[in-house]
Amino acid sequence: MGTPLRLRARLRGLLQPLIGPEAPPPEPAPPPARRVPVPPANPPPRTAPAPAPPPPAAPPPPAAPPPSAAPAPAAPAPAADDDEARKAEKAARHFEKTRKAVLAKLAELGGQAPLGELHDYSERRYFIAHRKFSDLMEGVVAEGLVDFDHAAGVATLTERGRAAVAAG
């Protein structure tokens, strides 16, 4: 038999027509061009900022209408303001309902519960969580209805809170 180089050459000769011509090695991609910021040809001259104009003089107060004149009818508020006011009122009622429910839940749990449990309850049942729940808890603590132990993360219903729950 022949040497390994001859054998390799023979195999290449037999397989080359089946495989096709050898592909040339891929050329390496050119490195990305570095962009260097070019300063503007003629930069604008630097000047000190202009001094601020003096504040305008306050307009004189409007003159009061004569006493015999009838008051002007108030312009009707746009419908969007009514809608926003209605939504705000509805949200306030829902928040108050949630506040009462959280106090009742705390009383139901024996007057003491971890804050996480109250948070989960308000989130699952009333969709009040995170920032609104923090506002709720800060409010009941400020009113003296609940004491909160930051180290233990436990809320405790006070006597005043128990009275508020009993009052409904």
CATH number at residue 102: 1.10.10.10
Q: Does any domain span residue 22?
A: no
Per-residue pLDDT, 166: 92
Residue 9 has pLDDT above 90, yes or no: no
Residue 40 has pLDDT above 50, yes or no: yes
Per-residue pLDDT, 69: 47
Q: Are 111 and 157 spatial neighbours (Cβ–Cβ below 8 Å)?
A: yes
Q: What is the pLDDT of residues 45-73, one digit of tens each?
A: 666 666 666 666 666 666 665 555 445 55
For 70, the 3-state DSSP assignment is coil
Q: Does any domain span residue 131?
A: yes
Per-residue pLDDT, 80: 72
Q: Does any domain span residue 25?
A: no
Residue 111: domain span: 90-167
Q: How far is CA 57 from CA 50, 52, 54, 60, 62, in A?
A: 20, 15, 9, 9, 15
Residue 17 has pLDDT above 60, yes or no: yes
Per-residue pLDDT, 70: 47
For the chain, what is the domain count?
Answer: 1
Q: Does any domain span residue 155?
A: yes
Q: Does any domain span residue 20?
A: no
Number of H helices, E strands in the chain: 5, 3
Q: Does any domain span residue 157?
A: yes
Distance CA 53, CA 9 (A): 91
What average pLDDT does the structure give for the chain? 80
Q: Tokens 């006597």 label which residue?
A: 159
Q: What is the pLDDT of residues 99-155, one digit of tens each?
A: 999 999 999 999 999 999 999 999 999 998 889 999 999 999 999 999 999 999 999
